[in-house]
Structure 1
């Protein structure tokens, strides 16, 4: 049984899915840092790349992202070892990029590296990695290039994993002048294991109130993912310039900086018997719907539940007060009173008109658009509020609705 469990763990897609999500969250986090004259791409030149336009030239950052779900004894992500396959495969691929068909000469390779920064970003712990330590020492001239070459030679010879050995060999085969320059532009980033919190912190840093950060995060993620999907369908890459960023996405931030309440989308849990709801039973009685009209009853119930859940969310988030909530309900009841009174002027003298006038009242009330503070709720949520009040026996449609409902 243990072998089966281990096999399931090895073949599980969960770790891969998290890895892809990690890449995209990193892309979003870097997008939030974008400045004038810069652009960022996802799965174009690398996992993520950033281009910086400066002094009539383009500096490119190529970013490879590696994520692990493995934990050490302390519950932290596992260490990045000096023989890590992901590490050396990445370095090998970058070396192949440096030496591709467009850059067959040493001068062209050096020129390419001078305008490129190579970034290996991971949530694995990198502070105990001997190779990274040696690269850092080389960059501040604490060791000589020859010492690093000797270290790599020993590492290659002592490595038993044939794939890793081959990847190390690919790196060491670069021309010495090219390799020295490559190591000088090679950087390693410990992303930590809280990339989502980092994104939310960046969002809040753009003058977004704490209680609106999640709304911006969700809206931005959804919009970017939809754009990514459209680009993939048309065979294009997702590359966003600073001007694109301002044009297409800053509205998400602006909408959450003003006093308008965010109208959220929910997946409400419906009651077991939709037709037993008081407001539904009255709609059936006056002939608005029949007792088999499930589609219509579901839609009306969704309007009612959605407005309730938005109101509760606004209240619990501190976006509205109890006084605001009470005032909103009273405003809706007062609108209903006037509409109900108008519809039933003749009903008392002719009770046979009760259902007909009840329908007139309902039709009229459905055209009313409610507002809470400065936020217009629109027709659906306004209707939902009236259905909610009817369900709570605070309003009704017939002249004598209180007796039964």
Structure 2
């Protein structure tokens, strides 16, 4: 059975990302509302209004020259003006579409900047739809807007803008969140969380028979909370687990970098060597990703390494004093176990399990530390 329900659902749902977009564009004391003064509207602190109607389609352009969506929108705006709900001189009229299409009347209206261009747009409209029959479904809207209220239409066109988005309407939202200096790795989390919050607020208001209004102040508080949470959330493991058959693991084993030679010096097993390679590779990738996504910076990374170095030095001294009965390889193994078991945080966050042993292996590779009691003689800098 055919149904247009998916298209209708998209039509309602797209108002949420559009409301989010306008909240991102708003300022102190502004309010954004859904289904109060049109689909989405922003009432500015200075009394000006941005009234937006959202038109969407799953397959095609919803704003063709003869589309009901276009002419009914203009009709509704005029009705709101005539009933004093909207002041035409203090309102910006926005028509949003999630699909682009052939250049037509709506594009002429949007690009008209002055009275002469507005007049040319009207002339084009009358010429294009000059043969429109009264039986056509848009006739009553077209007749009211163009034939009976031309002067008011001219005022609307002068304050009219067409905005074209894509798909579900989130592209502009992503761009605005990025403009807030949010790292790329955090954009989706913040956008999804804010969109869910807006839906919750609007639905609760509707259920309570309240107007669906969100103030800039409420939005600002939510944005700041999510921004802080996102930084905590993003200290995640960006890596896959490198199995012992992985090409990069095998390549490390073949090359035998210094950190592996240090492990061989304390007679680690093949299985332990492979695990060390995995930790080393994963820690290296994560550190790069965290810095790239601005989750941490070079100073934070250096501080983390300094704390690991301090712990290594203290454990090394303790083992030298308390574990004299052990052989040199056993002392080195014990030191490695202690260091790999160290619990250390990065910006008060617990990193993935591979981070601490992997960072120790990177330090051993330089070499800034070692495991064998005589590592400095065995592996001179």
Q: How does 1:118-157 map to 2 (within 5 A)?
A: 118-122=93-97, 128-130=103-105, 133=108, 140=115, 143=119, 154-157=130-133
Question: Where does the alignment leave 5 or more consecutive residues of structure 1 unmatched?
Answer: 1-10, 71-77, 279-290, 292-296, 371-375
Q: Does 1:82 align with 2:68?
A: no
User: 2:87 is matched with which residue: 111, 114, 117?
Assistant: 114
Does structure 2 retain, via aligned residues, the 8 Å contact 1:41–1:240?
A: yes
TM-score normalised by the chain length of structure 2: 0.57
Q: Does 1:226 align with 2:196?
A: yes
| Secondary structure of the corresponding residue to residue 111 of structure 1 | coil
User: 2:137 is matched with which residue: 159, 163, 166?
Assistant: 166
Does structure 1 retain, via aligned residues, the 8 Å contact 2:174–2:187?
A: yes
| Secondary structure of the corresponding residue to residue 133 of structure 2 | helix
Q: How does 1:210-289 map to 2 (within 5 A)?
A: 213-215=183-185, 217-231=187-201, 234=204, 236=206, 239-250=213-224, 263-272=234-243
Q: How far did residue 240 of structure 1 move?
A: 3.0
Q: How does 1:320-331 map to 2 (within 5 A)?
A: 320=297, 328-329=304-305, 331=307
Match of 1:33 in 2: 25
Does structure 2 retain, via aligned residues, the 8 Å contact 1:53–1:59?
A: no
CA distance in 1, matches of 2:371, 2:104: 74
CA change 1:109–1:315 in 2 (3 A) is closer
User: 1:313 is matched with which residue: 263, 266, 289?
Assistant: 289
Post-superposition CA distance 1:332-375 (Å, at most 9, x none): 23422313543674333368xx79x95996499534445xxxxx
CA change 1:149–1:26 in 2 (3 A) is closer
Does structure 1 retain, via aligned residues, the 8 Å contact 2:16–2:199?
A: no
Q: Does 1:49 align with 2:55?
A: no
| Secondary structure of the corresponding residue to residue 166 of structure 1 | coil
User: 1:91 is matched with which residue: 71, 91, 98?
Assistant: 71
Question: Where does the alignment leave 5 or more consecutive residues of structure 2 unmatched?
Answer: 254-270, 376-381
How many residue pairs align between the two structures?
331
TM-score normalised by the chain length of structure 1: 0.54
CA distance in 2, matches of 1:241, 1:31: 8
Post-superposition CA distance 1:18-62 (Å, at most 9, x none): 99998666544433321233222457755532223445xx73512
CA change 1:343–1:45 in 2 (3 A) is farther
User: 1:336 is matched with which residue: 312, 319, 329?
Assistant: 312
Match of 2:161 in 1: 188
CA change 1:169–1:18 in 2 (3 A) is closer
Does structure 2 retain, via aligned residues, the 8 Å contact 1:82–1:129?
A: yes
Post-superposition CA distance 1:163-222 (Å, at most 9, x none): xx313434435797667536632523244779978667655765x4xxx54256345313
Match of 1:287 in 2: none
Q: How far did residue 224 of structure 1 move?
A: 0.8
Does structure 2 retain, via aligned residues, the 8 Å contact 1:89–1:167?
A: no
Post-superposition CA distance 1:268-291 (Å, at most 9, x none): 3123469x999xxxxxxxxxxxx9
CA change 1:384–1:150 in 2 (3 A) is closer
Post-superposition CA distance 1:107-135 (Å, at most 9, x none): x8441243665421347668942465379
CA change 1:21–1:270 in 2 (3 A) is farther
Match of 2:257 in 1: none
CA distance in 2, matches of 1:213, 1:333: 30
Match of 1:4 in 2: none
CA distance in 1, matches of 2:292, 2:50: 45
User: 1:349 is matched with which residue: 298, 301, 325?
Assistant: 325
CA distance in 2, matches of 1:380, 1:135: 51
CA distance in 1, matches of 2:212, 2:279: 36
Does structure 2 retain, via aligned residues, the 8 Å contact 1:98–1:112?
A: no
CA RMSD of aligned residues (A): 6.1
Does structure 2 retain, via aligned residues, the 8 Å contact 1:336–1:365?
A: no
